[in-house]
Structure 1
Amino acid sequence: MSIIESTLTHELLTSYLKYNETKGEFTWIKRPNKNIHLHTRAGTKNSAGYRVISLFGKRYPEHRLAWFYVHGEMPKHEIDHINQIRDDNRISNLRQVTRSENQRNKTRKDSRVDEIGIWWCRRRKRYIAEISLNGKKVYQKSFTDIDEAISARKAKALELGFHENHGKTQAQY
């Protein structure tokens, strides 16, 4: 079996790439092809804002490779960027979560409000704060004031065990 046909092993990963846990970046320590320069940053940013690394004809999300590099096994679930910055791949910013947990950080596509779990209802002319768990709404309340809606939703989210950075567009350092 050729190297391209085989699955990526931890040994193969660490023989070609070096991961800097503090910066969250990979650099090449061995050339997989003639177009790669040693000791340069590996990968590029894709259209969704995530960094990806091509290795032996396959593109890998950098955050998944970082997890694999540090923990020695590919993540079984999704990897969440705690601070919501898609190209911040420091291991301290990554956590393994289920699909359901990761979906909690999504904003509605039809929302005019740039806040997770808050949207404007034209018919009622009120802000709606809501939380869903496992496909079921567990919290929904309407407010005339957006700040009240945000505060109420965040308090309920913490009560329900959501991560403290849930709903933030950028973590506060």
Structure 2
Amino acid sequence: MSNQLRGQRPTVETLKELLDYEPETGILTWKERPCRYFKTNGAWKRWNSRYAEKPAGSKNSSGYIQLCLPGCRPLAHVVIWVIQTGKWPEHQVDHVNHKRDDNRWLNLRATTPAENMKNLGRQANRKSGVAGVYYDKSLKKWRVWISEEGRNRYIGSFDTEEEAIRKRKAFEAALGYHPNHGTDTANGEEPLYNGRTEIWFD
């Protein structure tokens, strides 16, 4: 989904009325909800007694925190972007360190789908663990490819895995790949947050 939202898009004002956000921890908290959102006073009191001032959302099957709002079920990191910037992202919101439930503000950035593909985690299904680096048994060499403007580009073949990975990383840097691309930050490898621009909305 281009805006990572299920259902009707709420306004910025509605989101700020319903939720509090702590940028340093990434936690969204339910505010006390006005009675106009409920059909009866009893339902209003029960909801606030159970949820007000408590963490909002739960982890879905894909590992993202998902919210249940009136008329929609948006992903928490997208809602956070709206609360912080005052506008819905044009495309996607990326988790810089690949941890889908880490919604701290320094870990979120707006991206296009193509940019998002330049910040993928380590690929366990590759012998080298690095995207675009393959061992060719017939040649007994390591071959290197990279995606550039939607097309696979062949870089070359190398005698050692280390040399192939070094060449791949050099091309990633030249083509604007994120420094965390191909790293295992979701399992403890230290992420990089360089280049992050803080955007605030009052």
Equivalent position SS for 1:55: coil
Partners of 2:96 and 2:119 within 8 A in 1: no
One-letter amino acid matched to 1:147: E
Partners of 2:118 and 2:178 within 8 A in 1: no
Per-residue CA distance 1:102-155 (angstroms, 9 max, x = gap)? 123346796344323333445544433221122112343233432222221111
Partner in structure 2 of residue 148 of structure 1: 163
The two structures have a TM-score, normalised by structure 2, of 0.72
Decide which structure has greater strand share: 1
Give, in whole Å, the separation in 1 of the partners of 2:113 and 2:153: 18
Larger mean Cα displacement after TM superposition, 158-167 or 70-79:
158-167
- The Cα RMSD (Å) is 2.5
Match of 1:115 among 130, 145, 148: 130
Structure 2 residue 105 is the aligned partner of structure 1 residue 91 = yes
Unaligned runs of at least 5 residues, structure 1: none
Partner in structure 1 of residue 144 of structure 2: 129
The two structures have a TM-score, normalised by structure 1, of 0.83
* Structural mapping, 1:75-90, within 5 Å: 75-90=89-104
Unaligned runs of at least 5 residues, structure 2: 1-6, 38-42, 186-190, 194-202
Partner in structure 1 of residue 61 of structure 2: 47
Structure 1 runs (4+) deviating above 6 angstroms are none
Decide which structure has greater helix share: 2
Give, in whole Å, the separation in 2 of the partners of 1:49 and 1:122: 36
State which structure, 1 or 2, has the greater radius of gyration over its C-alpha atoms: 2
Structure 2 residue 118 is the aligned partner of structure 1 residue 100 = no
Structure 2 residue 153 is the aligned partner of structure 1 residue 138 = yes
The alpha carbon displacement at 1:100 in A equals: 1.0
Give, in whole Å, the separation in 2 of the partners of 1:135 and 1:109: 23
Give, in whole Å, the separation in 2 of the partners of 1:143 and 1:16: 56
Task: Report how many residues are paired.
Answer: 169
Partners of 1:119 and 1:128 within 8 A in 2: yes
Partners of 2:119 and 2:177 within 8 A in 1: no
Match of 2:181 among 162, 166, 171: 166
